[in-house]
Amino acid sequence: MENHEEIIKSTIELIKIDSRSGAHAEDNIVDFISEMLAGLKIKYEVIQHENSRKSLIALLNGENSSMNLLACGHLDTVNLSNIETDENDNISVNVKDGRIFGLGSSDMKSGIISILFSLKYLVENNIKPKYDIAVALTGDEEADKSGALHLLKNEIVKKTKLMIISEPTSLNLGLGQKGQIWIEIKFKGKQAHGSSPEKGKNAILMAMSFIEKIMDPDFFVKNNKFFTKSTINIGFMDAPGFFNIVQDSCNVGLDIRISPPETIQEVMRKLNLILGKEFRKSEYELKIIDSLNSSFVSPESKAARQIKSIINKYASGKRKIALSYATDGSVLNTNLNIPVIILGPGTPEVIHNKDEYVIIDNIFKSVSIYRDIFLNLDKII
């Protein structure tokens, strides 16, 4: 595959398009990709979300349409405000020292390029894959994952045997990703004057006591060695009030990332056990905002072994890893039990900041890897 200049040019053009998460974020990037797919005569449809967001789904028919590989990427980028733009409101892009700098370069426009140029190779060489290749380019991944939720309703996923998502992994083979639980707990105390705190019950202190217990290093069981240990982050603790008031209300937000063998059910059991032991039922209110299971594809599975052998052809020294964060794949795995592999050219350590970059050579290698995956579907799914 010798079209390196075209790959670089298209990557830069994609990064320039401002698709920072928010209403209508995907409008321009969907137009750009639609034009590319139309030129290749690949069937596609644009999905309109109810929240002024868009996704795009494409299908390249194979010799056998009884099943498909679903290649996925997200169109939006994280919404950073301190990003340089040019006079046309394009995201500023710089090419230096073998890298392309710009918001979304790693997360994950270079990953989208890997998928699109691999499809382009098949079409331009009149190669029909063994099975269908479905492509889902989702909107709203960085916020509410509404694109992935819309994808759950699409007929195309009923035939999906494997999902491969081009999130940044530096070409390492992502076989697992942590689950995610977002929880809001409202603690309810008793208000009193600040000069007599003993006459009230301070909801802030209730929240602090609870947080101390869940931050115990032994709260989580010893995890599968393939994953890092489960974690809890206190996202917020909100109790606006006055200096001289014993606060009777305090909201706490928990971001819990779970690794096997821990499960959502087991984590919730332990949280409720602590709450039930420390407080009366009338003193707290727990609400689950979002929950996604962890996912894991065995390193010994056919898909993992075959894809790893393809990676080895182009990039030596790459590992089998588990991601510490959830992706759109988590939504499909949780709801439809579709196995998910994560593989992309981007550099995870630099995403979500103004100095984000992608290594150009990794893009070339990623296109070749995805091309070979598409060419060998009968050995993978």
Domain ranges of the chain: 4-177+294-380, 179-292
Span 218-245, average pLDDT? 91
Fold of 4-177+294-380: Aminopeptidase (3.40.630)
The model's pLDDT over 133-186, given as tens digits with 9 standing for 90+, comes to: 999 999 999 988 999 999 999 999 999 999 999 999 999 999 999 999 999 999
The model's pLDDT over 298-334, given as tens digits with 9 standing for 90+, comes to: 999 999 999 999 999 999 999 999 998 889 999 999 9
Fold of 179-292: Alpha-Beta Plaits (3.30.70)
User: Residue 2's pLDDT band (boundaries 50, 70, 90)?
Assistant: low
Task: Give the pTM.
Answer: 0.92
Give yes or no on whether 4-177+294-380 and 179-292 have one common fold: no
CA distance 241 to 156: 51
The model's pLDDT over 85-133, given as tens digits with 9 standing for 90+, comes to: 988 899 999 999 999 999 999 999 999 999 999 999 999 999 999 999 9
Q: What is the 3-state secondary structure (H, E, C) of the chain?
A: CCCHHHHHHHHHHHHHCCCECCCCCCHHHHHHHHHHHHHCCCEEEEEECCCCCEEEEEEECCCEEEEEEEEEEECCECCCCCCCECCCCCECCEEECCEEECCCHHHHHHHHHHHHHHHHHHHHCCCCCCEEEEEEEECCCCCCCHHHHHHHCCHHHHHEEEEEECCCCCCCEEEEECEEEEEEEEEECECEECCCHHHCECHHHHHHHHHHHHCCCCCCCCCCCCCCCCEEEEEEEECCCCCCEECCEEEEEEEEEECCCCCHHHHHHHHHHHHHHHCCHHHEEEEEEEEECCEECCCCCHHHHHHHHHHHHHCCCCCEEEECCCCHHHHHHHHHCCCEEECCCCCHHHCCCCCCEEEHHHHHHHHHHHHHHHHCHHHHC
What percentage of the chain carries pLDDT values higher than 70? 99
Residue 1 has pLDDT above 70, yes or no: no
Q: Residue 214: what pLDDT?
A: 97
Q: Sort strands 249-258 and 43-48 into parallel, antiparallel or unpaired.
A: unpaired
Residue 289 has pLDDT above 80, yes or no: yes
Residue 215 has pLDDT above 90, yes or no: yes
Span 197-205, average pLDDT? 98
